[in-house]
Structure 1
Amino acid sequence: MTPRIGIIPGDPSGIGPELIAKLMAAEGVREAAEILLIGDRCVFEQGMRQAGAEYALVPVDPEDWRAPPEGIAWHETETIAASEIEVAVETEASGRSALATMDRALELLQAGHIDGFVFAPFNKAAMHMAGLAHADELHHMGERLGVTEYLSELNVLDGMWTSRTTSHIALRDVADAITPERLEEAVDLIDRTLRRSGIARPRISVAALNPHAGDGGNFGREEIDVLRPAIEAMQKRQMPVDGPWPSDTVFLKLRDGEIDAVVTMYHDQGQIALKLLGFERGVTVQGGLPYPVTTPAHGTAFDIAGQGRARVDAMRQAFDIACDMVANWQ
């Protein structure tokens, strides 16, 4: 069955509208899925002007739609006026628009009118100005969808995956937040998500917290007291996981295809590695949601917004991963 993928423009002040125009012009995109654009006409038209690429917006009933033979199916919203859009500026108006289109996409997911969705980059500062009550959009989505289980962003680059034991917390709080239960949740989440992306037998490694994996306790005991016992307990339950490996070498195993994923201890441990390898191609998967939701791993890029210079690679990767996840979802 052909995936039905919703796409929303993210923050209207950033590069999202331009990315969507470039994605719609990319070879093979319209053949890979039935696409429903969700958002305001003025935002999509702004993106076309910025990208120098046009496509026809075909209004449809979002509760009974199919991809038209020409143009792109479009569910119109009215979340921001063209006069309110300030390119390359964090504004409450753009944050409000991003929240509104995201919430509408979530409603369509729950109702079964789309199978998953891709969002162009959000600006968290703008969304908080507009009333976002959570640290990030993932936990907002989780609340809207009634999710009570573990949630975490997963990062993907060219088939290399990472998940996080801790995420948006201060570095000084990381060690205390790492528990056997939290590590198991992170491993289980990446295992389930890899299977849903089409990898039948994932190979997962855990990164150590301390330099040289603690050097036998000389540089910290988290590996001895927390990580290794938790990993051994998971292995006894046939979980496909090993480690903890020194974090300065485990990503070489990932790069060389020896493993499929690394479970990291904190946000930047994995982000630095993947973004260094391919910043312009990275994808974030909203891990733990009951539907596939993906986005480019980069931000709104205000430094180049409105200039027609945004690269579409990560947006295309996010779209392709969403399609794969729909096809393999269980």
Structure 2
Amino acid sequence: MSTAHPIPIVVSMGDPAGIGPEIIARAFRERPALQQQVVVAGDVAAMQRALRTTASGPASAADALMLAEVEVLSAFGTVPPGCVPVIQACSLLRPVPLGRVSAEAGRAAADCIRWGAQAVLSGKARALVTAPIHKEALAVAGVDHPGHTEMLQALAASHLGVPVSELPVRMMLSCPGLSTVLVSIHVSLRQALEAVTPEQVLETIRITDAHFRRTGFDAPRVAVAGLNPHAGEGGLFGREEIEAITPAVEQARAAGVLVSGPHAPDTVFMRARQGAFDVVVAMYHDQGLIPVKLLGLEHGVNTTLGLPFVRTSPDHGTAFDIAGTGQASPTSLLAAIDAALAAT
């Protein structure tokens, strides 16, 4: 972590009404060497408030942490020691109230994401780490995308000049001992059930296998969870396993993927944690995220698979209830930064 890199990682500030700026400030307090590897895409005033919030106790080197506004990304390495490099990536006319949903905060968060994505897509940054956003704030701000994953997919597709449908992406949540990739993400449960098709499941398996091979696995062991209790019990509890999941698994296996399933969803995550599999493909958002968050929310990392760049994020939300208190832990953000560093 101490070696400077000529191209930085960009960390987007997240919703300025939440804990995003605070956990970024605390991450720099805990790891001063981040100054040589990370630039914050955010709002200078919001980050200054976060630095004040996270200062504690008698004056020390950590409490004396300062903010340095960076005009161009290539200048991040010239920031004086003891400073957090920040690029003004959004327009906020005034500080937003902490712990409240607002269009101003949602708009600022979206602007920072866009800035960071363009920096990575243009080759000026090596990866994007995104601090938490609030989906309701995005909505009231008029942002057309419900979350990071969909927004980054659209930005990348536009940059590449292809339709969004030609750039399939998937969300992966990881904590120590468990990684899970989702067939569908921010949709209703009814829509999630409709998304369990042979094509969607197969594409998820392929994207998952490709990601793990790129990150050092020769033949990742991919387990596919069933949708229904006991993976359908041969059709007694539903036919999705027979009609959608099994055909996808068989086709992926024929293409050389080391994949198995469908496995009973109430035990497959436990088996993966015990070492039987490297990753679990889950059929919908909560099926995959509940076990990861139960096992390791503070160390969890959200990674978007399928993008033409590395994007990671802490596995938690904006925590409006503690915003401004200085209590928020940077552990998950640091894990996300570490994952981005390792992947680049």
**In the alignment, structure 1 residue 73 sits paired with structure 2 residue 89:** no
**In the alignment, structure 1 residue 98 sits paired with structure 2 residue 95:** no
Residue identity matched to 2:276: E
Which residue is equivalent to 1:135?
A: 146
Correspondent of 1:46 among 40, 46, 49: 49
Aligned 1:236-255 pairs, distance under 5 A:
236-255=254-273
Which residue is equivalent to 1:13?
A: 17
Tell me the number of residue pairs that the alignment of Structure 1 and Structure 2 aligns: 324
2:42 and 2:89 in contact (8 A); partners too: yes
Provide closer, same or farther for how the CA distance between residues 158 and 295 of structure 1 changes in structure 2, counting only shifts above 3 A.
same
Which residue is equivalent to 1:24?
A: 28
Provide closer, same or farther for how the CA distance between residues 266 and 77 of structure 1 changes in structure 2, counting only shifts above 3 A.
closer
- Unmatched segments (≥5 aa) in structure 1: none
Which residue is equivalent to 2:320?
A: 302
**Residue 226 of structure 1, CA deviation:** 1.9
Q: Secondary structure at the match of 1:303?
A: helix
Q: Secondary structure at the match of 2:74?
A: coil
Calculate the TM-score normalised by the size of structure 1.
Answer: 0.92
Moved more, 244-253 or 188-197: 188-197
Provide closer, same or farther for how the CA distance between residues 27 and 78 of structure 1 changes in structure 2, counting only shifts above 3 A.
closer
1:36 and 1:67 in contact (8 A); partners too: no
1:207 and 1:263 in contact (8 A); partners too: yes
Correspondent of 2:335 among 295, 317, 325: 317
The one-character-per-residue Cα deviations of 1:240-279 (angstroms, maximum 9, x if unpaired) are: 2111100111011221122111000111001111111112
**Residue 63 of structure 1, CA deviation:** 4.6
**In the alignment, structure 1 residue 157 sits paired with structure 2 residue 170:** no
2:138 and 2:146 in contact (8 A); partners too: no
Looking at structure 2, the residues matched to 24 and 237 of structure 1 have their Cα atoms a distance apart, in angstroms, of 45
1:175 and 1:222 in contact (8 A); partners too: no
**Residue 198 of structure 1, CA deviation:** 3.6
2:46 and 2:95 in contact (8 A); partners too: no
**In the alignment, structure 1 residue 203 sits paired with structure 2 residue 218:** no
Q: Percent of counterpart pairs with the same letter?
A: 34
- Unmatched segments (≥5 aa) in structure 2: 56-62, 158-163
**Residue 312 of structure 1, CA deviation:** 1.2
Correspondent of 2:8 among 4, 8, 17: 4
Which residue is equivalent to 2:280?
A: 262
Q: Secondary structure at the match of 2:322?
A: coil
Residue identity matched to 2:278: D
Which residue is equivalent to 2:160?
A: none
Provide closer, same or farther for how the CA distance between residues 12 and 232 of structure 1 changes in structure 2, counting only shifts above 3 A.
same
**Residue 138 of structure 1, CA deviation:** 1.7
**Residue 293 of structure 1, CA deviation:** 1.1
**Residue 155 of structure 1, CA deviation:** 0.7
**Residue 66 of structure 1, CA deviation:** 4.2
Looking at structure 1, the residues matched to 99 and 214 of structure 2 have their Cα atoms a distance apart, in angstroms, of 36
Looking at structure 1, the residues matched to 224 and 241 of structure 2 have their Cα atoms a distance apart, in angstroms, of 10
Which residue is equivalent to 1:189?
A: 207
Provide closer, same or farther for how the CA distance between residues 127 and 113 of structure 1 changes in structure 2, counting only shifts above 3 A.
same
Residue identity matched to 2:183: T
Provide closer, same or farther for how the CA distance between residues 66 and 85 of structure 1 changes in structure 2, counting only shifts above 3 A.
closer
Residue identity matched to 1:100: D
Moved more, 2-11 or 238-247: 2-11
**In the alignment, structure 1 residue 57 sits paired with structure 2 residue 67:** yes
Looking at structure 1, the residues matched to 70 and 343 of structure 2 have their Cα atoms a distance apart, in angstroms, of 25
Moved more, 187-196 or 244-253: 187-196
1:123 and 1:299 in contact (8 A); partners too: yes
The one-character-per-residue Cα deviations of 1:4-32 (angstroms, maximum 9, x if unpaired) are: 2011210000001110011112247528x
Looking at structure 2, the residues matched to 30 and 198 of structure 1 have their Cα atoms a distance apart, in angstroms, of 25
Moved more, 317-326 or 279-288: 279-288
Provide closer, same or farther for how the CA distance between residues 77 and 197 of structure 1 changes in structure 2, counting only shifts above 3 A.
same
Calculate the TM-score normalised by the size of structure 2.
Answer: 0.88
Provide closer, same or farther for how the CA distance between residues 159 and 66 of structure 1 changes in structure 2, counting only shifts above 3 A.
farther
Q: Secondary structure at the match of 1:72?
A: strand
The one-character-per-residue Cα deviations of 1:72-123 (angstroms, maximum 9, x if unpaired) are: 3332335213x44110000111111101111111221122110111111000
Looking at structure 1, the residues matched to 327 and 257 of structure 2 have their Cα atoms a distance apart, in angstroms, of 44
Provide closer, same or farther for how the CA distance between residues 296 and 321 of structure 1 changes in structure 2, counting only shifts above 3 A.
same
2:14 and 2:109 in contact (8 A); partners too: yes
1:99 and 1:127 in contact (8 A); partners too: yes
Provide closer, same or farther for how the CA distance between residues 304 and 60 of structure 1 changes in structure 2, counting only shifts above 3 A.
closer
